[in-house]
């Protein structure tokens, strides 16, 4: 029975379940570059270039390992640019009698795959993606009968399951599960940030860069300079560089933001991990070894491992547990159109301009920029949740719906009404002022609430709380916010509302 084994762009691992049991004489491995997938949101050119270069290198590795490979290039004249049509074409050309694949990272793709069984009348096998450390079935089991799902409890269970950062007897290393209290310091002056690796471009990568430049000239984002790893070996170099030079400071400055410094001590590995060039367990093991050998402190290593073993697996669990209904949630009925400054138009808000500039240049911004700058602004201004999600999905090179949606809709916008987070991550300018040096460079003043030069985040913050108070007053974690609001009294409350309307008008006019 010759099988067609389909591999998606984010499944570039030789250990992928799809490859298991391949009959190298009879079966064919298929990968496709499709316009349909590159443009359903306008993906950043660096993201497209990374994926095509990594896919083409992966196909070379497969050929070297003795597999038959059918690789449909974007510029192939016969390419139909649709998954379903490419599958039909391939099964006809190759007389395949079976289709094998691994569960994809998006609900929409899973529905499409399932439809092939009927349209092609062929047996179809969808395998579990065992590159993740918690299967969707295990997550559903853990979640069953719980009133609220909280990452911290899930994470502790994952530490025990994989015996990561545990002392003999099962206690957490150092006696505590979570070292956040030692982390999240504001940036101090005089810190230096490690230089990042730049990879030599292969002929494959050069060809892909030319292709992407020609085919996607209008997508937001700059293609060159292109600094990404595109093979597992290069991705491992990035990981080793992070562990040696950045991990020791990762915890301390995890939430810091510094003008002109897009990377600080972050790992920059999400793009490689989400595409399969790195695997989560090996990353956690390397980080743990750094702690055991004394190369990095526990607060940094635990904080880093929590992101991979905890948050990453948790958001995936949430996505598959709640889809497809999750995609239509909009707790605050946020419908204001996304302003043009998200796509690079001028804004006087330095923090926003800086985050968008990093995004445009690198298809990357770090977590706190995503959460507390562009995400926080979108939350406070009531921006349309679907437009905001489409933006995040398009502009970041690590973005796939399973991870983007719970982070954007759930964590940043609280659009799921508390499934992901116990309260909205809403903050005024004073948080940004404390955690960055952005405000020193801004036309606005984070200490002013009302007036021409008042930081827009301030009035928007209070107005957001006021207009959503019927939904938020009952939240156990927010009593202080509403007691302060009540103390303001009617005159100040009205002045804040007027200021917030002014800010929103300016946002729409393009003068904010
Ligand atoms: C609004 C919003 C949208 C986001 N969209 C994405 C996305 O599309 N793809 C994506 O991979 N991450 C997303 N994140 C999570 C996080 O911001 C990125 O994983 C991180 O910035 C990637 O950079 P890094 O590799 O340098 O991470 P580091 O800060 O070095 O963290 C290490 C690793 O931990 C994992 N991680 C950390 N936080 C999260 C999280 N909340 N969810 C999942 N994994 C996490 C990532 O794999 C990351 O590489 C989003 C966060 C927010 C607030
Ligand atoms: S003053 Fe306000 S708008 Fe300006 S950088 Fe600070 S937080 Fe951002």
* Nearest ligand 2 atom, CA 352: 8
Alpha-carbon distance of 354 to 262, in angstroms, equals 9
Q: Is the CB of 370 under 6 A from ligand 1?
A: yes
Pairwise CA distance, residues 308 & 270, whole Å: 9
Q: What is the pLDDT of residues 270-281, one digit of tens each?
A: 999 999 999 999
Confidence of residue 478 (pLDDT cuts 50, 70, 90): confident
Band of the pLDDT at 487, cuts 50, 70, 90?
very high
Measured from the Cα of 373, ligand 2's closest atom is: 8
* 165 band by pLDDT with thresholds 50, 70 and 90: very high
**pTM for the structure as a whole:** 0.96
CB atoms within 10 A of CB 210: 12
What tens digit of pLDDT does each residue of 335-385 get?
999 999 999 999 999 999 999 999 999 999 999 999 999 999 999 999 999
Tell me: pLDDT of 1 over 80.
no
Residue 211 near residue 75, CB atoms below 8 Å: yes
Which residues are registered as beta bridge partners of 32?
Answer: 72
- Verify whether ligand 2 is closer than 6 Å to residue 439 (CB atom): yes
User: Is 444's C-beta closer than 6 angstroms to any atom of ligand 2?
Assistant: yes
- At 464 the pLDDT is 98
Q: Is the CB of 459 under 6 A from ligand 2?
A: no
Average pLDDT score over the chain: 95
pLDDT of amino acid 353: 98
Query: Predicted confidence band at 413 (pLDDT cuts at 50, 70, 90)?
Result: very high
- The verdict on the CB of residue 353 being under 6 Å from ligand 2 is no
pLDDT score, position 187: 87
- Mean per-residue pLDDT, 145-170: 94
Residue 29 to residues 51, 279, 437, Cα–Cα distance (Å):
17, 21, 50
Mean of the pLDDT values across residues 133-137? 96
Q: Is 56 in the pocket of ligand 1 (CB under 6 A)?
A: no
Positive or negative CA dihedral for 155, 157, 158, 162? Answer: positive
pLDDT of residue 183: 81
Cβ partners under 8 Å of residue 367, min gap 6: 254, 266
Q: Is the distance from the beta carbon of residue 264 to the nearest atom of ligand 1 less than 6 Å?
A: no
Query: Residues 72-91: what's their mean pLDDT?
Result: 94
The pLDDT, as a whole number, for residue 184 is 80
The tokens for 428 are: 């005024």
CA of 411 to the centre of ligand 2 (A): 21
Ligand 1 in reach of 47 Cβ (< 6 A) = no
The predicted pLDDT at position 476 comes to: 87
Q: What is the mean pLDDT of residues 134-150?
A: 93
pLDDT exceeds cutoff 90 at 181: no
Q: Are 32 and 383 in contact (CB under 8 A)?
A: no
Per-residue pLDDT band for 145 (boundaries 50, 70, 90) equals confident
pLDDT tens digit sequence for 186-224: 887 778 899 999 999 999 999 999 999 999 999 999 999
- Which pLDDT score is estimated for 118? 84
Q: Determine the pLDDT at residue 467.
A: 96
Least confident of 46-55, 83-92, 376-385, 493-502: 83-92
Q: Name the closest ligand to CA 444.
A: 2
Q: Which atom of ligand 2 is nearest to the CA of 438?
A: 5
Question: What is the 97 CA–ligand 1 centroid distance (Å)?
Answer: 40
Backbone angles phi, psi at 108, to 5 degrees: -60, -40
| Residue indicated by tokens 């139909």 | 80
Ligand nearest to the CA of 439: 2
Percentage of the chain surpassing pLDDT 70? 100
Q: Name the phi and psi angles at 129, rounded to 5.
A: -85, 90
| Number of the ligand 2 atom closest to the C-alpha atom of 349 | 3
Ligand 2 proximity of 438 Cβ (cutoff 6 Å): yes
Q: Whose CA is nearest to atom 41 of ligand 1?
A: 311
Q: What does the pLDDT average to over 156-182?
A: 94
Res 136: pLDDT: 96
For residue 266, the CA-to-ligand 2 centroid distance in Å is: 23
Percent of the chain with pLDDT strictly greater than 90: 92
- CA-closest residue to ligand 1 atom 17: 367
- Whether 120 shows a pLDDT value over 90: the answer reads no
Cα-to-centroid distance, 369 and ligand 1 (Å): 11
Question: Structure tokens of 407?
Answer: 């982070």
Give the span between the Cα atoms of 497 and 442, in whole angstroms.
23
In this structure, which residue's CA is closest to atom 8 in ligand 2? 351
Q: Please report which ligand is nearest the Cα atom of 425.
A: 1
- Kindly give, in sequence order, each residue whose CB lies less than 8 Å from that of residue 219, ignoring residues fewer than 6 positions away: 42, 43, 44, 45, 48, 394
Q: For the segment 216-255, what is each residue's pLDDT rounded down to a tens digit?
A: 999 999 999 999 999 999 999 999 999 999 999 998 898 9
Tokens (6 digits) for 207:
């060809």
What atom of ligand 2 comes closest to residue 350's alpha carbon? 5
- Extract the tokens encoding 151: 């990452």
Ligand showing the shortest atom-to-Cα distance for residue 445 = 2
**311 token code pair:** 């948050």
pLDDT by residue (tens digit) across 266-317?
A: 999 999 999 999 999 999 999 999 999 999 999 999 999 999 999 999 999 9
Contacts (Cβ under 8 Å, ≥6 apart) of 507: 339, 381, 456
Q: Compute the C-alpha angle 272/277/281, nearest 5°.
A: 95
CA of 429 to the centre of ligand 2 (A): 6
pLDDT in tens, 13-72: 999 999 999 999 999 999 999 999 999 999 999 999 999 999 999 999 999 999 999 999
- Report which protein residue has its CA nearest ligand 1's atom 38: 307
H-helix segments, 382-478? 385-395, 401-405, 429-435, 456-467, 469-472
Counting ligand 1 atoms within 8 A of each CB, the residue from 41, 242, 270, 399 with the most, and so the one to mutate, is 270
Atom of ligand 2 nearest to the CA of 443: 4
Instruction: Provide the 3-class DSSP secondary structure of residue 257.
Output: strand
264, pLDDT greater than 90: yes
């Amino acid at each position: 029975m010759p099988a067609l084994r389909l591999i998606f762009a984010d499944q570039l691992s030789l250990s992928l379940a799809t490859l298991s049991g391949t009959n190298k004489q009879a079966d064919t491995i298929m990968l496709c570059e499709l316009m349909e997938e590159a443009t359903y949101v306008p993906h950043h050119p660096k993201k497209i270039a990374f994926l095509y270069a990594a896919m083409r290198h992966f196909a070379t590795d497969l050929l070297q390992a003795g597999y038959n490979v059918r690789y449909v290039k974007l510029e192939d004249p016969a390419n139909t640019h649709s998954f379903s049509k490419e599958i039909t074409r391939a099964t006809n050309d190759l007389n395949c009698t079976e289709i094998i694949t691994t569960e994809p990272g998006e609900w929409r793709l899973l529905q499409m795959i399932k439809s092939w069984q009927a349209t092609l009348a062929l047996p179809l096998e969808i395998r579990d993606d065992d590159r993740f450390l918690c299967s969707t079935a295990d997550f559903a089991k853990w979640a069953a009968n719980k009133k609220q799902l909280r990452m911290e409890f899930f994470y502790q269970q994952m530490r025990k399951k994989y015996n990561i950062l545990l002392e003999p007897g099962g206690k957490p290393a150092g006696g505590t599960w979570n070292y956040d209290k030692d982390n999240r310091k504001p940036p101090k002056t005089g810190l230096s940030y490690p230089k990042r690796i730049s990879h030599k471009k292969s002929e494959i990568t050069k060809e892909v860069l030319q292709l992407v430049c020609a085919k996607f000239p209008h997508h937001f984002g700059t293609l060159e300079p292109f600094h990404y790893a595109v093979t597992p070996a290069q991705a491992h170099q990035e990981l080793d560089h992070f562990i040696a030079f950045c991990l020791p400071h990762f915890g301390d400055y995890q939430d810091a933001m510094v003008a002109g410094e897009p990377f600080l001590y972050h790992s920059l590995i999400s793009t490689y991990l989400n595409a399969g060039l790195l695997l989560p367990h090996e990353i956690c093991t390397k980080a743990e070894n750094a702690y055991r050998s004394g190369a990095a402190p526990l607060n940094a290593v635990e904080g880093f491992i929590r992101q991979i073993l905890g948050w990453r697996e948790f958001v995936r669990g949430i996505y598959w547990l709640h889809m497809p209904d999750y995609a239509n949630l909009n707790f605050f009925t946020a419908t204001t159109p996304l302003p043009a400054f998200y796509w690079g138009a001028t804004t006087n808000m330095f923090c926003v301009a800086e985050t968008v500039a990093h995004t445009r240049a690198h298809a990357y911004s770090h977590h706190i920029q995503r959460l507390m700058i562009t995400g926080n602004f979108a939350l406070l201004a009531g921006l349309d949740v679907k437009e905001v999600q489409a933006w995040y999905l398009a502009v970041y090179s690590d973005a796939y719906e399973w991870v983007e949606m719970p982070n954007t809709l759930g964590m940043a916008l609280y659009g799921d009404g508390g499934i992901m987070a116990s309260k909205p991550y809403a903050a005024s300018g004073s948080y940004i002022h404390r955690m960055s040096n952005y405000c020193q460079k801004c036309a606005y003043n984070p200490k002013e609430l009302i007036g021409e030069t008042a930081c827009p985040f301030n009035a928007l913050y209070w107005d957001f709380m006021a207009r959503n108070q019927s939904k938020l007053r009952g939240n156990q974690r927010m009593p202080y916010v509403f007691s302060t609001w009540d103390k303001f009294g009617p005159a100040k409350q009205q002045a804040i509302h007027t200021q917030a309307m002014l800010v929103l008008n300016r946002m729409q006019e393009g003068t904010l």
